[in-house]
Structure 1
Amino acid sequence: MRVSIIQASLVWADKLKNLEYFDREIAQLGGQTDLIVLPEMFATGFVMDASKVAEPMNGVIMQWMANHASKLDCVITGSVAIKEKGKFYNRLIWMRPDGSFEYTDKRHLFRMGNEQEYFTAGEKPLVVTLKGWKVRPLICYDLRFPVWSKNRLIDGQYEYDLLIYVANWPASRSYVWKSLLTARAIENQAYCIGVNRIGKDGKGIPHSGNSMVLDFKGRFQVNAPANKSYTETALLDYTELTSFRQRFAVGLDWDSFTIH
């Protein structure tokens, strides 16, 4: 499966400028990818005043995602500030070429940024399928919580093959970002992708990007340069993944658990 990541500097609360940037980057990927991964809140930046940036599920950003997914015949994913039934959600959208979509809401809201005061936490994990792959997409701070990210072996089948995190992860904690992404790939015996923004946000907080695609051993497939806009496509090999799982069957010894 071909997966493209887009590491970008987001303009604070400016949907038009951000979408115009992604228009240009996405246009280059036509016929070359199966999945495009954008950062967390890619159209606005990590703006906490949700009432100023949030859209309904039939808003401009959702339509934009549907249009590009259709044109490029691929899935596009990233998170969006959504308003629904009087509440706000940091919602990851999984947009398919036919306009159908699925979503998951950020489970762990970043309290050091007071996200929990503006947004409502998600409760349901999501696993989607694409070209025979099972994919688990998550959002930023969720990376710090290994139980919420944990893969499981159920009746001999792995719950997912690819783990994705979209993020606005500050440069001051880039070492943590890189370390935890590597750990999640290794401990879950899955490919792992982290797509982060660059540049200073509206509060003056710098972000270095350090987006990456890791294989099931924690080895780099793509290692984006820090502090630079960057678009790259990686080819993920399902045969190599399944072969490794058979040879090194850690999943058979995983602990069973229930999340409450």
Structure 2
Amino acid sequence: MSLKLKIALVQSHLIWENPQSNREAFSKKIDSISGDVDLIILPEMFSTGFTMNPQNIDTSEGINTVEWMRKTALKKEVAIVGSIVFTENNKNFNRLFFVYPNGKYKSYDKKHAFTLAGEDQIYKAGDTKLIVDYKGFKICPLICYDLRFPVWARNVEDYDVLIYVANWPKPRIDAWDSLLKARAIENMSYCIGVNRIGLDGLGYEYSGHSATYDVLGNQLVYSEKEEILCTTLYKNDIDSTRNKLKFLEDRDEFNLI
């Protein structure tokens, strides 16, 4: 039997700079998920919205949200991934956490800070790609603006699933749609994007478009409203398509320096 991974994409409105209220709202959404799920994906900065004011967030809230993710993962026996505002050693990060069902976790700091919003002046950028092994799948989780930079996502690790968590605004949503599909095709992997919806505290509008694409760029699920999308990924589909087409074997060889 082929390995499979059941995933829930949580497309949601976010309450501006209010971690406690967002955690409570996501707890209700997660509790509403019926059936077996292996991985739950939340948006970028899901506990605050895409704020450039980390000073408005108590430094304890990052730890509180990670602990909430751990407790939720243990309770639901599911993995959870999403990014949050996290403060450490007096430095701020847009940090993604992948929490396993046993409560252990790994983290990734957003590589490409969104300079248009001044994120590069406020949050320290990461420099290390994260590859997660989970239930027979290799997963590469990235954050929002990373989507515009294909070299960073380049599939040199033979990962199976590429994930983007985001706060991607409505005026540029066509780029989101196009780039998610492109990342799936060029990396011969499933590509999943989870965006938010609604207005943020600055009046920017978000229209969702959370989606899953297969290794050939076919769209499997898609939504523009507040809802939870469920999709199942199949390891055999990845392996059989790669073995048949072998496009990844023709990759150009180069290194990031």
What is the TM-score when the length of structure 2 is the normalising length?
Answer: 0.95
Q: 1:164-179 counterparts in 2 under 5 A?
A: 164-179=163-178
Aligned-partner SS, 1:41: coil
1:65 corresponds to which residue? 69
Q: Which amino acid aligns with 2:189?
A: A
Kept in 2, the 8 Å contact 1:54–1:83? The answer is: no
Aligned-partner SS, 2:14: coil
Change (3 A) 1:248 1:55: farther
Query: 159-168 or 29-38: which moved more?
Result: 29-38
1:233 corresponds to which residue? 230
Q: Which amino acid aligns with 1:198?
A: I
Matching of residue 119 in structure 1 with residue 139 in structure 2: no
Aligned-partner SS, 1:259: coil
Identical pairs, percent: 42
Structure 1 residue 31: Cα displacement: 5.0
Q: Which amino acid aligns with 1:96?
A: Y
Structure 1 residue 95: Cα displacement: 0.7
Kindly provide the CA deviation profile for residues 4-50 of structure 1, in whole angstroms up to 9, marking residues without a partner as x. 10000111111122112111110123652000000000010001111
Matching of residue 45 in structure 1 with residue 53 in structure 2: no
Matching of residue 91 in structure 1 with residue 90 in structure 2: no
Structure 1 residue 53: Cα displacement: 2.1
Aligned-partner SS, 2:108: strand
Change (3 A) 1:57 1:94: farther
1:245 corresponds to which residue? 242
Aligned-partner SS, 1:66: helix
Structure 1 residue 165: Cα displacement: 0.2
Which residue, out of 79, 85, 96, partners 2:83?
79
Structure 1 residue 57: Cα displacement: 8.6
Kept in 2, the 8 Å contact 1:6–1:39? The answer is: yes
Change (3 A) 1:236 1:54: farther
Structure 1 residue 240: Cα displacement: 1.1
Structure 1 residue 58: Cα displacement: 6.9
Q: Which amino acid aligns with 1:242?
A: D
Aligned-partner SS, 1:59: helix
Gaps of 5+ in 1: 153-157
Gaps of 5+ in 2: none
Query: 13-22 or 40-49: which moved more?
Result: 13-22
RMSD between aligned alpha carbons?
A: 1.3
Matching of residue 182 in structure 1 with residue 186 in structure 2: no
Q: Which amino acid aligns with 2:221?
A: V
2:207 corresponds to which residue? 208
Aligned-partner SS, 1:252: helix
2: CA distance, partners of 1:22 / 1:57: 15
How many positions carry a matched residue from both structures? 253
Q: Which amino acid aligns with 1:120?
A: K
